[in-house]
Structure 1
Amino acid sequence: MSHLKGQVALITGGSSGIGYAIAAALVAEGMAVGLSARHPKELQEAAARLEKEGGTVFALPTDVSQQDQVARFVAEGVRRHGRIDLLVNNAGIGKSGRIESFSEADWDQIQAVNLKGAFLCTQAVLPVMKRQRSGYIVNLSSLAGKQGAGGMAAYSASKFGLIGFTESLLEEAIEYHIRATAICPGYVATPMVAGVSVPPEEMIPPEDIGKLVVGLLHLSPVTVIKEIVVRRRGAID
Structure 2
Amino acid sequence: MTTLAGKTLFITGASRGIGLAIGLRAARDGANVVIAAKSDVPNPKLPGTIHSAAAAIEAAGGTALALRLDVRDADDIARAVAAAAARFGGIDILVNNASAIWLADTPGTPVKRFDLMHQVNTRGTFLMTQACLPWLERAANPHVLMLAPPLNMAPRWFATHTAYTIAKYGMSQCVLGMSAEFVARGIAVNALWPRTVIATAAVAMLGDTVQPEHCRKPEIVADAAHWLLTQPARNCTGRFAIDEDVLRESGLSDFEHYAVQPGAALLPDLFLD
Amino acid at match of 2:26: L
Question: Which residue is equivalent to 1:229?
Answer: 242
Question: Which residue is equivalent to 2:25?
Answer: 25
Pairwise CA distance, 1:228: 0.8
Question: Which residue is equivalent to 1:92?
Answer: 99
Pairwise CA distance, 1:164: 1.1
Distance 2:31 2:153 in 1: 31
Pairwise CA distance, 1:127: 1.2
Query: Structure 1 pair 190/177, CA: closer, same or farther in 2 (3 Å)?
Result: same
Which of 177, 184, 189 pairs up with 1:175?
184
Question: Which residue is equivalent to 1:204?
Answer: 216
Question: Which residue is equivalent to 1:160?
Answer: 169
Question: Is residue 60 of structure 2 the alignment partner of residue 47 of structure 1?
Answer: no
Q: Which segment drifts farther, 75-84 or 217-226?
A: 217-226
Consecutive unaligned residues in structure 2, runs of 5 or more: 42-48, 245-264
Question: Is residue 193 of structure 2 the alignment partner of residue 184 of structure 1?
Answer: yes
Distance 1:200 1:56 in 2: 31
CA contact (8 A) 2:220 2:243 kept: no
Question: Is residue 38 of structure 2 the alignment partner of residue 38 of structure 1?
Answer: yes
Question: Is residue 108 of structure 2 the alignment partner of residue 113 of structure 1?
Answer: no
- Normalised TM-score (structure 1): 0.91
Question: Which residue is equivalent to 1:4?
Answer: 4
Amino acid at match of 1:36: A
Count of paired positions: 237
Pairwise CA distance, 1:149: 4.4
Post-superposition Cα deviations, 1:200-224, rounded to whole Å, max 9, x if no partner, equal 1321320011101110122234422
CA contact (8 A) 1:145 1:159 kept: no
After the TM superposition, which parts of structure 1 deviate over 4 Å for at least 4 consecutive aligned residues? 143-147, 230-234
Q: Which segment drifts farther, 214-223 or 104-113?
A: 214-223
Question: Which residue is equivalent to 1:16?
Answer: 16
Q: Secondary structure at the match of 1:33?
A: strand
Matches within 5 A, 1:66-105: 66-105=73-112
Pairwise CA distance, 1:100: 2.9
CA contact (8 A) 2:12 2:95 kept: yes
Distance 1:230 1:131 in 2: 28
Distance 1:70 1:17 in 2: 21
Which of 128, 132, 145 pairs up with 1:138?
145
Pairwise CA distance, 1:8: 0.4
- Normalised TM-score (structure 2): 0.80
CA contact (8 A) 2:197 2:269 kept: no
CA contact (8 A) 1:9 1:86 kept: yes
Q: Which segment drifts farther, 46-55 or 128-137?
A: 128-137
Distance 2:12 2:267 in 1: 30
Amino acid at match of 1:56: T
Distance 1:213 1:136 in 2: 11
Q: Secondary structure at the match of 1:100?
A: coil
Distance 2:107 2:76 in 1: 33
Query: Structure 1 pair 145/188, CA: closer, same or farther in 2 (3 Å)?
Result: farther
Amino acid at match of 2:117: I
CA contact (8 A) 1:86 1:136 kept: yes
Pairwise CA distance, 1:111: 0.4
Post-superposition Cα deviations, 1:45-81, rounded to whole Å, max 9, x if no partner, equal 1111221223200011100010011111111111011
Task: Say which structure is richer in helix.
Answer: 1
Q: Secondary structure at the match of 1:59?
A: strand
Consecutive unaligned residues in structure 1, runs of 5 or more: none
